[in-house]
């Protein structure tokens, strides 16, 4: 593999714990890991498998890439910037949300909450379906089983990562009965993988993706909103039915989420951060 070291600059505040905490809490063992202050993961790039390692520092992210093809560097950079939401104009977002009489104090207390994204929208969508109506820990276990059973092995120079997350084409060929989860959810995972593989569902344009996902049996509003937020970077996605969102709103009686448009995805980060949940905590060194 070709090793590349570079830095990814960003502007404004960055409450990195909320993004990294979310990525680590929802990570797939063997595909993603948190090590020595860096978030590391495997990625399927055009030239072959790669590995990225990202350490958030003031004003920049220290990045190390291991690439099968050296000319995949621009694509790796693009994906990592989206993963950490490095191009968001947080001065504008926090300026709007910070003026809200109820949400504002949370924003002022912790500016720079960015969206936890993804290096692969298809992977993210499939993992969100795996996580429907189960705990974060249970979703990790299900994703790990899928990766171990069907992911392409990867040679990590640092030894911690073992495989790529399986592609939609691979998952689409699995018999749902083989997946250790409720049969209906297994069928939804395989069904969505098939639609992603043949292009019936395209995770590119936000409006089109919302409409296409909403038409898939077994996928409801919560899944659509989380995929729009984390998979497509929609700044105004709002999972109103999310348990964490409902709990946080109960602490803000009178809050009017409609007034947070067009930044409800970012408002959601502040709501989630107000709770005692593992997505808000990084593992101890």
Mean of per-residue pLDDT scores for the chain = 95
Over residues 9-34, mean pLDDT: 94
> What's residue 283's pLDDT?
73
pTM comes to 0.96
Could you read off the pLDDT of 47-60 as tens digits, one per residue? Answer: 999 999 999 999 99
Does pLDDT of 62 surpass 90? Answer: yes
Mean pLDDT of the 30-45 span: 96
Average pLDDT, stretch 103-129? 97
Query: What does the pLDDT average to over 145-162?
Result: 94
pLDDT for 51? 98
Q: What is the pLDDT of residues 243-265, one digit of tens each?
A: 999 999 999 999 999 999 999 99
The CATH class of 2-90 is: alpha beta
Mean pLDDT of 68-96: 97
CA-based diameter of the chain, in Å? 55
- Is the model's pLDDT at 135 over the cut of 80? yes
Point out the least confidently predicted range of 28-32, 63-67, 74-78, 276-280: 276-280
pLDDT tier at 159, thresholds 50, 70, 90: confident
| Residue 77 pLDDT grade (very low, low, confident, very high; cuts 50, 70, 90) | very high
Question: For residue 277, what pLDDT is reported?
Answer: 86
pLDDT > 70? residue 79: yes
Per-residue pLDDT band at 173 (split at 50, 70, 90): very high
- The pLDDT confidence band at residue 284, using thresholds 50, 70 and 90, is low
Model confidence band, residue 125 (pLDDT cutoffs 50, 70, 90): very high
* pLDDT tens per residue, range 263-280: 999 999 999 999 988 888
Domain boundaries, the chain: 2-90
% of the chain with per-residue pLDDT over 70: 99
Q: Is the pLDDT assigned to residue 281 strictly greater than 90? A: no
Confidence grade of residue 285 (pLDDT, cut at 50, 70, 90): low
């Amino acid at each position: 593999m070709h090793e590349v070291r570079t830095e990814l600059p960003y502007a404004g505040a960055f409450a990195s714990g909320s993004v990294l905490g979310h990525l680590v809490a929802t990570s797939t063992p063997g595909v993603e890991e948190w090590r020595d202050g860096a978030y590391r993961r495997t990625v399927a790039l055009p030239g072959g498998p790669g590995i990225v390692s990202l350490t958030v520092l003031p004003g920049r992210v220290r990045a190390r890439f291991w690439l099968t093809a050296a000319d995949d560097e621009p694509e790796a950079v693009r994906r990592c910037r989206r993963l950490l939401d490095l191009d968001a104009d947080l001065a504008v977002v926090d300026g709007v949300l910070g003026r809200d009489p109820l949400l504002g104090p949370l924003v002022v207390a912790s500016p720079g909450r960015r969206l936890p994204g993804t290096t692969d929208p298809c992977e993210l969508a499939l993992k969100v379906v795996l996580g429907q109506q189960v705990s974060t820990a249970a979703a990790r276990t299900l994703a790990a089983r899928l990766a171990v059973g069907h992911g392409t092995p990867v040679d990590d120079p640092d030894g911690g990562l073992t495989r790529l997350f399986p592609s939609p084409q691979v998952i689409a060929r699995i018999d749902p009965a083989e997946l250790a989860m409720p049969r209906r959810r297994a069928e939804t995972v395989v069904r969505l993988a098939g639609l992603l593989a043949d292009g019936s569902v395209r995770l590119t344009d936000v409006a089109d993706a919302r409409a296409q996902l909403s038409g898939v049996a077994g996928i409801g509003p919560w899944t659509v909103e989380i995929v729009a937020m984390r998979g497509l970077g929609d700044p105004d996605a709002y999972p109103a039915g999310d348990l964490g969102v409902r709990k946080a709103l109960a602490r803000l009686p009178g809050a009017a989420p409609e007034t947070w448009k067009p930044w409800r995805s970012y408002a959601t980060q502040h709501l989630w951060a107000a709770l005692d949940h593992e997505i808000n905590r990084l593992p101890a060194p």
